[in-house]
Amino acid sequence: MPTSGPGSARARTLAFLDAFGEQAKALGWDALRLFSVHPQIGILRVDPCGGLVIPLGGPVRAITATTISFGHMTHRQKLGQLQGVLI
């Protein structure tokens, strides 16, 4: 995963905040739900990962209270889902 440039995690995060920051806050998305990973194995186990951690490719297209859509893929927050830790 690139550490700088348009495909970097930082660039994806800034683009998400610019486009969806206020809406995400209103829908209850917080730092843990956006930027968490599995406490022992990081992104190798994706179910506890936050919505912006996995490099799914492409910009976020839409959000709801439980989903972040990247167009071709969707991150879903499920009840009872394993909780990750902040990165």
User: pLDDT at residue 4 above 80?
Assistant: no
Give tens-digit pLDDT for 11-59: 888 999 999 999 999 999 999 999 999 999 998 888 898 999 887 667 8
pTM for the full predicted model:
0.83
DSSP 63: E
Distance CA 31, CA 82 (A): 16
Distance CA 43, CA 55 (A): 10
pLDDT value of position 72: 87
Which stretch of DSSP H or E encloses residue 37? strand 36-37
pLDDT (average), residues 51-75: 88
User: pLDDT at residue 70 above 80?
Assistant: yes
